[in-house]
Amino acid sequence: MLPVNSGGHAAYQNFVIENLRKYYPDPCAIPRSAWDIIERFWALDLSYTDDLLRSKYSVFGPKPRTPSCMQRSYLLSIDFKVYSLTDWAAQLKINPLYAILSGFEFGDTPGVGTFYDFLDRLWDSDSSDFFPHVHPVKRKKVKKPKLKGTKAESIEKISVDQLLKQLESGSFSIDDQPYRSLFKIYNKEFLSQSVERGLIDASDLSIAGDGTPFVTSARERKHRVCNCSDKGITDCDCDRYFSQPDCDIGWDSSRDCFYHGYDLYMLVAANSESDLPIFPLLNPASKHDSHGFLEAYFRMKNFLPDFHISKWILDSAHDAMAYYTYCRKNRIQPFIDLNEKRGIKVKYKDDFTIGKDGIPVCKAGRKMNRDGSEPSKARLKYRCPLASRKYGCSCENPCSDSKYGRTVHLAMKDNPRLINFPPRNSEEWKMEYNARTSAERSNKREKIDFKLESGRHRSTKMWYCRLYHILMLQHLDAWDLPFESTLQKLILEVA
């Protein structure tokens, strides 16, 4: 039987008011900390979930649970910090508040199997993972970096330039992704709502990106599927069965240890006050951030064609020439910190070098003074720091006879990686780059506040379900609520 939500969101709101009056006639009996969650969920309209998932139910059989109520209940379990669906199903049976807010009659709540059936309908693939469980063992593994607190070197088989060209020439369709339904619900009911409320400027969006370790288990679990051990061969190259085929081993630079799981790459609206997430992507733990950003960005670009990206704000792990070339071609301003390992002091016009902050250094080893810019030509002007229009150059070996001193024009087209516009030593650049921490704050919200890693799951399907619903709660928390509680007033009214 197909699910029917007669009355829509208004019927849910009336249901909550009637049952709260019945079980909690005195609103003060409910903890004050819970009222904020109650108000937000009472106002949250999830009707689109009913429309989208209706076709995924059979016309035969018993009446199913309303999809919007199932989704609302799953969101509540995350918000109330209940990590296990088994525990949540038990809580619904003993706590009237949880059942009422979900939209269920107290005493008639779904079991744990119903929740897993619902999450299966959010995943548009017969397989719970991207890769098969049986596959070869990776011979090239991430190595521990020499310096403490630094990220591991990339082990990718292709360069950033090759990957960028490959992704740029290809196309991604949301309809081909297993998380299609999850993304559509997230976009329609939360991301688009944040745009309409003015929390995200889709016409001029600054994107901050960062990858973060996502631990799913204490160790990698695999076993043999061949009979080589019976033949006395202990180190064969045969395929193994992996319990989590989409995960592998990576390096956590913040904790200086190896871990098993994913690399969660998150794209965040850096110019939003609430550090709101835009698009997530789960990669194997060994994926380098320079590749993870491109994989996430080009998917986001195809899935959200109405979003106009004006700035990239990224850390030094993304410092590759291909990034700057792409930005220059597509009129995107890159704010990327320099990575000293990839070379900084570069010869410029034979007798000058460019320092790590993008400032030219003369033969005598002195940094030159900035003396204007030409935005139309994307170039910066620098002059000798010892030159005076009145007395000339005070250097022992002046490199110019002019009293004005030697001048140098840095054109971005010569080296867009080192010659940045605005220059890296300017206040404008520093102010923009400071917004990069929005990605770190967003990752902290997901991992610490909403306990992302406490899901106790083993499949990519379940992790994506948990991740997307956490993103939904981040948007929900950012929406403003009325100063006075409308719901409490309605409960206190005499029928």
Instruction: Give the pLDDT of residue 340.
Output: 74
CA 61 to mean position of chain CA atoms: 40
Residue range 427-453: mean pLDDT, rounded: 93
272: pLDDT confidence band, cut at 50, 70 and 90?
confident
494: pLDDT confidence band, cut at 50, 70 and 90?
very low
Query: Among residues of the chain, what percentage have pLDDT more than 90?
Result: 60
Domain edges within the chain = 8-121, 134-338+435-478, 343-423
pLDDT above 70 (res 346): no
pLDDT above 70 (res 360): yes
Question: In this predicted structure, which of 52-56, 303-307, 329-333, 380-384 has the lowest mean pLDDT?
Answer: 380-384
Summarised one tens digit per residue, pLDDT across range 14-31 is 999 999 989 988 877 888
Instruction: Give the pLDDT of residue 408.
Output: 77
pLDDT above 90 (res 182): yes
